[in-house]
Amino acid sequence: MKKTIILLGLILLTFFISSYIYYNRNNTNSLPFNINKKRVVSKQTKKYWYDGNAEISSYELSQARYGENHKGIATLIFVTEPFSKTSNTKADYPNNSNIPVLKLNMNKKFNTGIYPYSMMNSTFFPFENDNSSLKISSSIQEWCGMTYVEMKNTENDYTINFNSYFEGASFRNKKIEKTLLEDDLWSLIRLNPKLLPTGEHKIIPSFFFLNSKHQKFKSYTANIKLTQLENSIIYQVTYPKLKRTLEITFENSFPFKILGWSESHESGYGKNKKLLTTTAKKIKTIKVDYWNKNKNKDLTWRSELGIE
């Protein structure tokens, strides 16, 4: 009888330990994320990003649009630069008020039938301290026309201006309460993934998504979880109301390069609407001062990235 009790006790103990390990492995850093809390980066991080180069990664893209998937190319360009709050642009002249940022330019290019799409999203995420971009600008161009949205991070809120070729869609000076920005998660992954929030949060979704799906620019409730694999981490953000899930896969060791992503949501119209998944898989990553590579002889860099 005594041996049976001890055996049952060991079984229960093993169960609780296994459950604890599983929970913590898949729910890392589950405390609420404070966007106002000051953030610091390591010396290793500063050395990597302040070497005089940009980091460029190319991806094989399969983009969901109009109820189908379309092949294309995506690029992520990360680079540090000073930002001027006065002009709300990159700072071209030294000033004590300039703020160091990690800028991310995300580009997507794909064709829908006869006509091409070009999408670009720029975030200016403070290298340290603040946890939301000082500015986000996002544009979509295709043969029907173009749209452009710009967010300015003011003292009290996010101010958004939107210009569109769709009648009645444009607006100016829309105020949104400060909260997590999905577009900032990519830079936070690169600077300090230990700070990535999990659990339920109010998040302003990707500007690409809100723009292309004609959704209101506001925060939506999202459920976030982080899953650690052997050599990578999957960061999943699910918006129940939008029926949308984003998964970003990145290396689980420094410098936490982004290996790819997927984005599932409804695509198409009317009876043809269905759930589709956009995917991106990394081709190549290089570090180079691309702004000095603008001659015909420098076209070889595009071949090295696998985008030509």
The answer as to whether 182 is a domain residue is: yes
The answer as to whether 140 is a domain residue is: yes
pLDDT at 1 over 60: no
Residue 301 backbone class (left: φ over 0; alpha: ψ -120 to 50; beta: rest): alpha
The answer as to whether 28 is a domain residue is: no
* Confidence grade of residue 286 (pLDDT, cut at 50, 70, 90): very high
The answer as to whether 77 is a domain residue is: yes
Q: Give bridge partners of residue 120 from the DSSP assignment.
A: 107, 139
Contact 182, 189 (CB under 8 A): no
% of the chain with per-residue pLDDT over 90: 84
The answer as to whether 3 is a domain residue is: no
Where does 97-219 show beta strands of DSSP type E?
99-112, 115-126, 135-142, 145-153, 158-164, 171-176, 180-181, 199-204
The alpha carbon of residue 266 and the mean position of all alpha carbons in its chain are separated, in whole angstroms, by: 20
The answer as to whether 129 is a domain residue is: yes
pLDDT at 3: 53
pTM: 0.88
Amino acid at 287: K
The answer as to whether 205 is a domain residue is: yes
d(CA 251, CA 228): 10
Total of domains in the chain: 1
% of the chain with per-residue pLDDT over 70: 89
The answer as to whether 23 is a domain residue is: no
Contact 84, 103 (CB under 8 A): no
pLDDT at 161: 98
pLDDT at 22: 38
* Confidence grade of residue 71 (pLDDT, cut at 50, 70, 90): very high
d(CA 300, CA 56): 14
Mean pLDDT for all residues in the chain: 91
Which domain covers residue 245, as residue numbers?
33-305
Token pair, residue 52, equals: 């005089």
pLDDT at 32: 53
